[in-house]
Amino acid sequence: MTGDPVRAGPGRPAWDPNDVTGPAARGRAAEGSGIAMTDTQTSLPGRLAAVPGGEAETAVRADALSKRYGDVTAVREVSFSIRRGEVFAFLGPNGAGKTTTVRMLCTLARPSAGRASVAGFDVARQPRAVRRRIGLVFQEQTLDDRLTAEQNLRFHAVLYHVPRAQVRQRIDRALELVALADRRHDLVSTFSGGMARRLEIARGMLHTPAVLFLDEPTVGLDPQTRALVWEDVLRMRREEQVTIFLTTHYMDEAEYADRLAIIDYGRIVATGTPDELKRQVGADTVELVTSDDAAAARRLAAAGFRVRSGEEHLVVFAEDGEGLVPGLIEAAGVRVRSVHVHRPTLDDVFLHYTGRQIRDEPAGRALPMMARARTARR
Amino acid sequence: MAAIALGQPGGRLADERESLREDLRTTGMVWEREIIRFFRTRARILSSFIQPVLFLFVLGYGMGSLVGATAGFDFKKFLFPGIVAMTVMSTAISSAISIVWDREFGFLREMLVAPVSRTALVSGKTLGGASIATVQGTIMLALAPLIGVHLTWLVVLQVIGIELLMAVALTAFGVFVASHIQRMEGFSVVMQLLLFPMLFLSGALFPLSGLPGWLTVLTRLNPLTYAVAPLRQVVFAAQHVPPIAAARFSAGVTLFGYTLPDSVNIGITCVFAAVFLALAVTGFGAAE
Ligand SMILES: Nc1ncnc2c1ncn2[C@@H]1O[C@H](COP(=O)(O)OP(=O)(O)O)[C@@H](O)[C@H]1O
Ligand SMILES: [Mg+2]
């Protein structure tokens, strides 16, 4: 099943029942469509990578960071660093320790062991300095839905010491970044789940943080809205040069990050750019079904291909599977019934490092809670 | 990349003045939010009048006929300041409830992770709730002519002052309780267990003289008692209260046979307000 280039969001309950798109539209197949924003994403990492990775260029650094809750070790000795201007994704299933890591980096939870610095300040020793320099969007919604969008932002501006003279202009800019300027004076209670999420992201950017933390910014959103959120994120990185740390359990999304770390059971099992990770997993595979697999396998091996005979088909390993197809067909010498080229995906990467696929298990504890809060509307 | 000032010039004092200014700004914003939200819920404005008005007329006329008038001064007039206090109390407490909502809807987190002091947040919350409670209590004064209670501008001003003090103490108390409560249901249970006893044992609804010993002790332990007494004395000061009526419908609090003057009552209320505020600040976000 790993063949799909982009995997669907799960058919989980959306966290906003008012969301325009029903659960049906959120099912397995809507997906390939959703996210398409390739140009910005390919150009930027290159530009930023040109800068040497000196200390001043490090926005976030974690050294053997651990967090224990009683007997549970939520995060085990994770180490990574994020360069300024990078979009860094933490990819892992529910319960992997993503939120706990975010909480430690944002000074909301004290590390049990290890150290971390954000924007050059130690999270344990200089929490206030850290907090002033970060934007944070929680996994759960934290807007006041009885205020308007603008009032929510104004409240935030005061809490984060945005100079009075700049408040208005920053609010304009933040709303523009997420394309919600026309909903400025509307009550948040009238917003769809996706709009509320994007407003929260705008709010996170209001005080021009050095690092923006987004904990599962797209969870529970339909594919179209997820794409919008990603557009917002990439636009902010491009136009505001903010460093973005985000967590997700959607494989397809991690592709849009400059670099990512895969976390499972509290441990980082792999770090790198999406391409690097895929390369580590291995080459492309080409699956061939022929009229005589045995004969084809012999000939292909003789022609120097790396071949393995499967139950129903042959598998050929190659660096560039697609480019190889014509040559393969010719070298096989028998009638080829079908060809399937498979590039490693992040699913394969995850499978490779953990021996499992990311399960779309029932959503975390947060969602039932939100559902309850939303139905118990005042 | 804008606005990341690493190490500003200026000494420690300048920093402190700056952070005080930011704290005040935060307090102002939290206050404003309370006010905005209050005006957005018209139902709440109305409903917070229903209970006191009901108490005033049902108790005032019902009990009033039983108690009878003394030298032309009747129970309704005695009850009236108590009902004003009751309005302040229920509004203050229901404002504090909003913290439980804030927790449930996540907004509390938005406040708690911000680089601001809890004192600033709690002050804003408390002042917001207290302002609303004071306004509601003052609106109740409009019923005075119906009851035959005479008011002067000075009395109104004095009442407002006492209401505000009382409202700060009560809202802070509510914030403290609410901070330690996870769920809405929990808050209503705790409040039912606290609110009504506090109200009934405060002297708002009946005179505190000539009670059985155990009841006397309970009323004297109740913080609200010391706010209700000066409120009533201030209102009584503008009425013609014949001495026998004053003896029967006593407004003051006696402690060890000594009638406390208003200044002492107000002092005690100030102490309670300060203690509850301090508790509210330490408790704020405790359950996060
Ligand atoms: N406050 C807490 N107390 C006890 N256990 C916790 C707490 N927070 C998280 N955990 C546990 O730590 C693990 C990681 O949780 P979390 O960081 O929320 O994962 P994720 O965000 O990746 O879904 C889970 O097993 C979770 O049950
Ligand atoms: Mg999480």
Residue closest via CA to ligand 1's atom 2 equals A69
Q: d(Cα A230, Cα A238) in Å, to the nearest integer?
A: 12
Q: Is A99 in the pocket of ligand 1 (CB under 6 A)?
A: yes
Is there a contact between B180 and B189 (Cβ–Cβ < 8 Å)?
no
Q: d(Cα B218, Cα B201) in Å, to the nearest integer?
A: 7
CB atoms < 10 A from the CB of A159, how many? 23
Q: Is A364 in the pocket of ligand 1 (CB under 6 A)?
A: yes
Mean pLDDT comparison of A47-51, A69-73, A357-361, highest-scoring range = A69-73
Higher pLDDT, A348 or B80: B80
Helical packing angle, B225-237 and B75-104, nearest 10°: 140
Backbone angles phi, psi at A342, to 5 degrees: -125, 115
Higher pLDDT, A326 or A79: A79
**Tell me, what's the ipTM?**
0.85
Task: Say yes or no to pLDDT of A343 above 90.
Answer: no
Whole-number pLDDT of residue B58: 87
Task: Say yes or no to pLDDT of A52 above 70.
Answer: no
Beta pairing, strands A121-122 & A113-118: antiparallel
Whole-number pLDDT of residue B286: 61
Whole-number pLDDT of residue A144: 93
pTM for the full predicted model: 0.78
Residue closest via CA to ligand 1's atom 5 equals A69
Answer left, alpha or beta for residue A333, where phi above 0 means left and psi between -120 and 50 means alpha.
left
Beta bridge partners of A241: none
Whole-number pLDDT of residue B11: 62
Whole-number pLDDT of residue B27: 96
Q: Mark yes or no for CB contact B115/A145 under 8 Å.
A: no
H helix count then E strand count, chain B: 12, 2
Distance from CA of A240 to the nearest CA of B (A): 6
End-to-end alpha carbon distance in chain A: 45
Task: Say yes or no to pLDDT of A220 above 80.
Answer: yes
Tokens of A108: 């909301």
Beta bridge partners of A69: A72
Q: What is the mean pLDDT of chain A?
A: 79
Distance from CA of B95 to the nearest CA of A (A): 14
Q: What is the pLDDT of residues B125-138, one digit of tens each?
A: 999 999 999 999 99
Q: Which domain holds residue B97?
A: 24-285
Task: Say yes or no to pLDDT of A226 above 80.
Answer: yes
Is B191 contained in some domain?
A: yes
Closest-CA residue in chain A for B98? A378
Residue A93: nearest ligand to its CA?
Answer: 1
Q: What is the mean pLDDT of chain B?
A: 86
Contacts 24+ apart (CB under 8 A), B72-75: B72/B240, B72/B242, B72/B245, B73/B239, B73/B240, B73/B241, B73/B242, B73/B245, B73/B249, B74/B148, B75/B249
CA A116 to chain centre: 21
> Who among A133, A241, A373 is closest to B105 (CB)?
A373
Q: Stretch A20-24: mean pLDDT, rounded? A: 34
Task: Say yes or no to pLDDT of A32 above 60.
Answer: no
Residue closest via CA to ligand 1's atom 6 equals A69
Residue closest via CA to ligand 1's atom 21 equals A99
Q: d(Cα A304, Cα A107) in Å, to the nearest integer?
A: 56
Whole-number pLDDT of residue A350: 82
Confidence of residue A157 (pLDDT cuts 50, 70, 90): very high
Is B13 contained in some domain?
A: no
Q: Which residue has the tokens 């009990």?
A: B63
CATH of A1-279, picked from 3.40.50.300, 3.40.50.1370, 3.30.420.40, 3.90.79.10, is 3.40.50.300
Task: Say yes or no to pLDDT of B269 above 70.
Answer: yes
Whole-number pLDDT of residue A103: 94
Half-sphere CA count of B270, side-chain side, radius 13 A: 7
A208 touches chain B (CB under 8 A): yes
Residue among A110, A161, A107, A108 nearest A118 (CA): A107
The total number of structural domains that make up chain B: 1
Q: Stretch B97-116: mean pLDDT, rounded? A: 85
Which residues 6+ apart lie within 8 Å of A265 measured at CB?
A76, A96, A97
Half-sphere CA count of B263, side-chain side, radius 13 A: 0
Task: Say yes or no to pLDDT of A369 above 60.
Answer: no
Higher pLDDT, A243 or B13: A243
**Residue % of chain A over a pLDDT of 70:** 79
Q: Is A218 in the pocket of ligand 1 (CB under 6 A)?
A: no
Whole-number pLDDT of residue B82: 93
Whole-number pLDDT of residue B253: 83
Higher pLDDT, B122 or B187: B122
Which range, of A104-118, A138-152, A339-353, averages the lowest pLDDT? A339-353
Residue among B54, B38, B126 nearest B87 (CA): B54
Where do the CATH 3.30.70.120 domains begin and end in chain A? 283-343
B98 touches chain A (CB under 8 A): no
Q: Stretch A105-126: mean pLDDT, rounded? A: 94
Beta bridge partners of A339: A288
A239 touches chain B (CB under 8 A): no
Whole-number pLDDT of residue B241: 80
**Residue % of chain A over a pLDDT of 90:** 44
Q: Mark yes or no for CB contact B37/A147 under 8 Å.
A: yes
Residue among B231, B38, B227, B48 nearest B129 (CA): B38
> What radius of gyration do chain B's Cα atoms show?
21
Task: Say yes or no to pLDDT of A19 above 90.
Answer: no
Q: What is the pLDDT of residues B134-163, one digit of tens each?
A: 999 999 999 999 888 889 999 999 999 999
Q: Mark yes or no for CB contact A155/B116 under 8 Å.
A: no
Higher pLDDT, B8 or A189: A189
Is B222 contained in some domain?
A: yes
Which residues 6+ apart lie within 8 Å of B143 measured at CB?
B53, B56, B80
Q: Stretch A166-170: mean pLDDT, rounded? A: 94
Whole-number pLDDT of residue A247: 95
A196 touches chain B (CB under 8 A): no
Is there a contact between B18 and B11 (Cβ–Cβ < 8 Å)?
no
Q: Mark yes or no for CB contact A151/B33 under 8 Å.
A: yes
Residue A329, H or E segment: helix A321-332
Q: Percent helix, strand and coil across chain B, each rounded to 5?
A: 75, 0, 25
Q: d(Cα B261, Cα B270) in Å, to the nearest integer?
A: 14
Residue among A283, A277, A266 nearest A320 (CA): A283
Whole-number pLDDT of residue A29: 34
DSSP structural state of residue A219: T
Confidence of residue A55 (pLDDT cuts 50, 70, 90): low
Q: Is A66 in the pocket of ligand 1 (CB under 6 A)?
A: no
Task: Say yes or no to pLDDT of A373 above 60.
Answer: no
Task: Say yes or no to pLDDT of A184 above 90.
Answer: yes
Task: Say yes or no to pLDDT of B218 above 80.
Answer: yes
A160 touches chain B (CB under 8 A): yes
End-to-end alpha carbon distance in chain B: 33
B210 touches chain A (CB under 8 A): no
Q: Stretch A210-233: mean pLDDT, rounded? A: 89
CATH 3.30.70.120 assigned to A283-343: yes
The residue type found at B45 is: I
Is B168 contained in some domain?
A: yes
Q: Which residue has the tokens 């906003």?
A: A16
Is B1 contained in some domain?
A: no
